[in-house]
C-alpha cells in the first residue's frame, strides 16, 4: 500500500482581497452618483415641461458625474441649469413689468401669428385690430 500525502496550504492574499473590495466600492459609488445625477436631471426637466415652460428651458438642465473617467469612492454628481436667471425667476416669482411700467403684452395663440409666421408683436396686433393699448 502506498501512502498518499495531502498538503493543504492556505495563504490568503489579504491585500488583493481588500483591493478587490475597494474596486467594487468605487464602482458602486460612481454608479450611484451617475444614477442620482441623471435621475435628478430627468425629474427637474419633467417639472419644467409639466409646468408648461417648454422643452428648450427643460433642456437647459445639465448633469455631470465626477470623476469624468474612471471610478472613485469620492464620486460626485453636479446638476445645474444653463439658464439660471430664467429658472430662478420661475422659482421665486418676481414681479415682471413692461419697460414703461404700463402694460405687459404676452402673445398667446389667440393673438394669431405675425405676417412672417412667428409670434405677433403687440404693435402689429394693434395695427391689425385698429386698437391702441393706451
pLDDT digits (tens, 9 = 90+) for 7-17: 766 667 878 88
| 85-113 tens-digit pLDDT | 888 887 787 777 777 777 777 777 788 88
Q: Reply yes or no on whether the pLDDT at 75 is more than 90.
A: yes
Structural domain boundaries of the chain?
14-94, 95-134
Q: Which residue has the cell 393699448?
A: 133
Most confident by average pLDDT, 24-33, 47-56, 89-98, 122-131: 24-33
CB atoms within 10 A of CB 110: 5
Taking every pair of Cα atoms in the chain, the longest distance, rounded to a whole number of angstroms, is 120
The model's pTM is: 0.61
Torsion angle in degrees (nearest 10) through CA of 65, 69, 73, 74: -50
Q: How confident is residue 45, by pLDDT bands cut at 50, 70 and 90?
A: very high
- Spatial distance between the Cα atoms of 71 and 87, rounded to a whole number of angstroms: 32
Amino acid at each position: 500500500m502506498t501512502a498518499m500525502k495531502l498538503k493543504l496550504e492556505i495563504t490568503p492574499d489579504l491585500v488583493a482581497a481588500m483591493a478587490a473590495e475597494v474596486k467594487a466600492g468605487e464602482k458602486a459609488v460612481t454608479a450611484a452618483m451617475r444614477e442620482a445625477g441623471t435621475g435628478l436631471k430627468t425629474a427637474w426637466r419633467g417639472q419644467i415641461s409639466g409646468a408648461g415652460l417648454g422643452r428648450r428651458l427643460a433642456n437647459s438642465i445639465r448633469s455631470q458625474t465626477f470623476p469624468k473617467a474612471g471610478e472613485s469612492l469620492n464620486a460626485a454628481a453636479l446638476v445645474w441649469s444653463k439658464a439660471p436667471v430664467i429658472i430662478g425667476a420661475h422659482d421665486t416669482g418676481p414681479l415682471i413689468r413692461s419697460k414703461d411700467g404700463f402694460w405687459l403684452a404676452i402673445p398667446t395663440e389667440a393673438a394669431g401669428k405675425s405676417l412672417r409666421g412667428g409670434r405677433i408683436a403687440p404693435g402689429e396686433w394693434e395695427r391689425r385690430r385698429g386698437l391702441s393699448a393706451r
